[in-house]
Chain A
Amino acid sequence: MTERIVIVGGGTGGTVLANRLSERLEPELDSGEVEVVLINDGEKQYYKPAYLYVPFDKKDVSDATKPITDLLPRDVQFRVDRVESVDTDRKQVTLASGGGLAYDQLVLATGANLAPDNVPGLAEGGHHFYGPDGAEALKEELAEFREGHLVLSVIGVPHMCPAAPVEFTLMADDWLRKRGLREDVEITYTYPIQRPHGLQSIADWVTPIFEERDVNVKTFFNVESVDPDAQRLETMEGKELDYDLLVGIPPHEGSDLIKEAGLGDSGWVDVDQHTMEAEHAEDVYAIGDAADVPTSKAGSVAHYEAGTVADRIATRIRGGVPTATFDGKTVCFIETGMDEATFVSFEYGSEPTMREPSKPIHWAKLGYNESYWLTARGLI
């Protein structure tokens, strides 16, 4: 009988996993003992880190898109469909196109969704660079923005790519300086907790940089609503802040699919942080942003988690005892301007060591952006 592995989601985690399973289970896939099915609700994968560069006119959103079929090996079946429900007792998913699909092993890689409507006025009053339309609209606003108050407000935590708001702020500062406009633009960065980043070491590193570059910082700043007409933010702490251009990192949500399946009340799958196995169901895993683990919602996390899950599934299918584990490894580049960057790497329970920003690291980041699709194909 064929053992069917179903992957839901064709982002970084989904395609890396499919490629790794193809490598590890090649004989079983060839003989038909195993099949791997990847289901995604669209035909394309989007490389979201590229959107950071769009507002500064350094990249186009089309640079960040590839057909998922280009990223998968031939022995993985790809279906464009929407998984509407997961029944972990009967071990099957229900598809929007009709009918169910049984699984032996299920991996949820459904990502995180933007939820700007959760904050009244944000969709009307704010811009963001977390999606193609938002990034394009922000590019148009920035091109015309020559004076006033630019506010970068981190409204939702957790959110994808935790370093991106810091990067955007530092890039905006440098970009405005290079255009001779910085003296006419006040920049303010806000963050929900008592420091400007969730990781203490990044907060400690960026605080003097913001100071040197004349970026105002407001902490314990939890935006409750946005008044688009008055161009004002109002917070849960009773503060108000006027803006001329608002870049608001919107709240993120997990999936209703996950809540309804009883896999995680908040929409993120409750998993063992080392095995990525769901805590509330057998033979179910979650990787990437969909998994509720105490590290970043970042592509590198999805990448490393996918390797662990591929090893565990392959070992289990061959009758062995899985031993591969994920240690929380996270690697992120951090742009500190338009031509300098640094990078961090850390694991569960550890803090990154901060390095001096440099041009070579910036070029390495640009190089990685170009070669990202090799990651998605499981090659690096």
Chain B
Amino acid sequence: MSESISPDETVDSRGAACPGPLMDLIGKIQDAEPGTVIELQTSDSGSKGDVPEWVDEAGHELLDTVERDDYWSIYVEKTD
């Protein structure tokens, strides 16, 4: 169940236009320790595609994408 994911860090990028949410996530991952689970909150629908694509490119793990009332939560775990 996606609701069971407990992120270590949350990045609230709601209201930001593309590529703001992805850049916010990249900035957070840069400073995080491996194993950290980050929840990216975004109201930009384009991020649903952009973020997983970058996560794959950078070799991190996409845990889940959850649609909320007016935004999405994208959960990512930083790898080594």
Seen from chain A, the residues whose Cβ lies within 8 Å of a Cβ on chain B are 157-158, 192-194, 198, 200, 220, 222, 224, 236-238, 273, 294-295, 348-349
A193 and B59 within 8 A (CB): no
A220 and B57 within 8 A (CB): yes
Interface pairs A-B: 7 shortest CB-CB: A294-B17, A193-B19, A237-B58, A220-B57, A157-B23, A198-B19, A237-B57
**A-contact 0/1 string along B1-35, CB 8 Å cutoff:** 00000000000000111111011001001100000
- Chain A residue numbers with a CB within 8 Å of B54 are 193-194, 220
- Chain B residue numbers with a CB within 8 Å of A198 are 18-19
Can you list 18 A-B pairs with a CB-CB distance of less than 8 A? A192-B19, A193-B22, A193-B23, A193-B54, A194-B50, A194-B54, A198-B18, A198-B19, A220-B54, A222-B30, A224-B30, A236-B26, A236-B30, A238-B59, A273-B15, A294-B16, A348-B17, A349-B17
Q: How far is the CB of A216 from chain B (nearest CB, A)?
A: 17
The chain B residue sitting closest to A294, CB to CB, is B17
CA separation between A236 and B26, bound complex, in Å?
A: 9
- Chain B residue numbers with a CB within 8 Å of A237 are 57-59
A238 and B58 within 8 A (CB): yes
Total A-B Cβ pairs within 8 A: 44
B contact patch SS:
helix
- Chain B residue numbers with a CB within 8 Å of A295 are 17
CA separation between A236 and B78, bound complex, in Å?
A: 11
A157 and B30 within 8 A (CB): no
- Chain B residue numbers with a CB within 8 Å of A349 are 17
B15 and A294 within 8 A (CB): yes
A294 and B58 within 8 A (CB): no
- Chain B residue numbers with a CB within 8 Å of A273 are 15
A contact patch SS:
loop
Q: How far is the CB of A290 from chain B (nearest CB, A)?
A: 16
CA separation between A349 and B44, bound complex, in Å?
A: 11
From the candidates B16, B17, B29, B50, name the one contacting A193 in the complex (CB within 8 A). Answer: B50
CA separation between A192 and B18, bound complex, in Å?
A: 12
A194 and B53 within 8 A (CB): yes
Q: How far is the CB of A351 from chain B (nearest CB, A)?
A: 11
CA separation between A220 and B26, bound complex, in Å?
A: 10
The chain A residue sitting closest to B19, CB to CB, is A193
What number of B residues sit within 8 Å (CB to CB) of A? 17
Tell me the B19-70 residues at the A interface (CB within 8 Å): 19-20, 22-23, 26, 29-30, 50, 53-54, 57-59
Seen from chain B, the residues whose Cβ lies within 8 Å of a Cβ on chain A are 15-20, 22-23, 26, 29-30, 50, 53-54, 57-59
From the candidates B20, B23, B26, name the one contacting A294 in the complex (CB within 8 A). Answer: B20
- Chain A residue numbers with a CB within 8 Å of B59 are 237-238
- Chain B residue numbers with a CB within 8 Å of A222 are 26, 30, 58
CA separation between A316 and B52, bound complex, in Å?
A: 46
From the candidates A158, A192, A200, A238, name the one contacting B26 in the complex (CB within 8 A). Answer: A192
Give 9 new A-B contacts, CB below 8 A, not counting A157-B23, A236-B58, A294-B15: A192-B22, A193-B50, A193-B54, A194-B50, A194-B53, A222-B30, A236-B30, A238-B58, A295-B17
- Chain A residue numbers with a CB within 8 Å of B19 are 157, 192-193, 198
CA separation between A193 and B19, bound complex, in Å?
A: 7
CA separation between A220 and B58, bound complex, in Å?
A: 8
Q: How far is the CB of A294 from chain B (nearest CB, A)?
A: 4
CA separation between A237 and B55, bound complex, in Å?
A: 9
The chain B residue sitting closest to A191, CB to CB, is B19
- Chain B residue numbers with a CB within 8 Å of A192 are 19, 22-23, 26
- Chain B residue numbers with a CB within 8 Å of A157 are 19, 23
Pick the most buried of B16, B26, B53: most chain A CB atoms within 10 A of its CB: B26
Q: How far is the CB of B19 from chain A (nearest CB, A)?
A: 4
The chain A residue sitting closest to B53, CB to CB, is A194
Q: How far is the CB of A47 from chain B (nearest CB, A)?
A: 27
CA separation between A200 and B45, bound complex, in Å?
A: 14
Q: How far is the CB of A328 from chain B (nearest CB, A)?
A: 10
- Chain A residue numbers with a CB within 8 Å of B30 are 222, 224, 236
